[in-house]
Amino acid sequence: MSALQLSVFSEIDRLNQVVVHRPGPEVDFMVPDMMEELLFDDILCGDLARREFDVFRQVLDRVAGEVLDIQDLFVEALRSDGVKQAFIEDFRRLADMPDATCDLLRDLSPEAVARSLVTGIPWDDELQHGHWQKKSFDYRVRPIPNLLFMRDPAAVVGHGYNINFMASWAREREPLILSYVFRHHPRLRQLKESDCLFDQITPLLTGRIRIPQNLEGGDTLVLDPKVLVVGCSERTSVDAIHMLAESLKQAHRRGESTFETLLMVLMPKIRSAMHLDTVFTRVSQGECIIYPPFFTERSRVLLNVVKFDLCHERLPTELAPNLLKALQGEGIDLEPIRCGGADPILQQREQWTDGANAFAMAPGVILLYSRNLATAEELAAAGYRVLNAGKLIQDPSIDLLDGRKYAILLDSAELSRARGGPRCMTMPLSRHTPGLA
Residues recognised as catalytic: 424
Return d(Cα 411, Cα 422) in angstroms, integer: 11
Return d(Cα 347, Cα 336) in angstroms, integer: 14
DSSP class per residue in 242-283? HHHHHHHHHHHHTT-----EEEEEE----GGG-SGGGTEEEE
Q: How wide is the angle at C-alpha 401 spanned by C-alphas 151 and 290, nearest 5°?
A: 45
Give the per-residue SS3 of 154-187: EEEEECEEEECECCCHHHCHHHHHHHHHHHHCHH
Among 294, 301, 218, 221, residue whose Cα is nearest residue 261? 221
Please provide the distance, in angstroms rounded to a whole number, between the alpha carbons at the two ends of the chain: 19
Helix (H) or strand (E) run with residue 19 in it? strand 14-20
Give burial (CB, 10 Å; 0-12/13-18/19+) of 408.
buried
Going by DSSP bridges, is the β-strand pair 335-338/385-388 parallel, antiparallel, or unpaired? unpaired
Partnered with residue 309 across adjacent β-strands are 261
Contact 215, 241 (CB under 8 A): yes
The DSSP code for 86 is H
Residues with Cβ within 8 Å of 20's Cβ and at least 6 positions away in sequence, in order, are 53, 56, 57, 60, 67, 68, 69, 70, 150, 425, 426, 427
Amino acid at 325: K
- What phi and psi, each to the nearest 5 degrees, are found at residue 229? -120, 130
- DSSP three-state, residue 15: strand
Query: Could you tell me the sign of the dihedral formed by the alpha carbons of 24, 109, 173, 158, in that order?
Result: negative
Return d(Cα 410, Cα 419) in angstroms, integer: 15
Going by DSSP bridges, is the β-strand pair 220-224/427-432 parallel, antiparallel, or unpaired? unpaired
- What phi and psi, each to the nearest 5 degrees, are found at residue 328? -60, -40
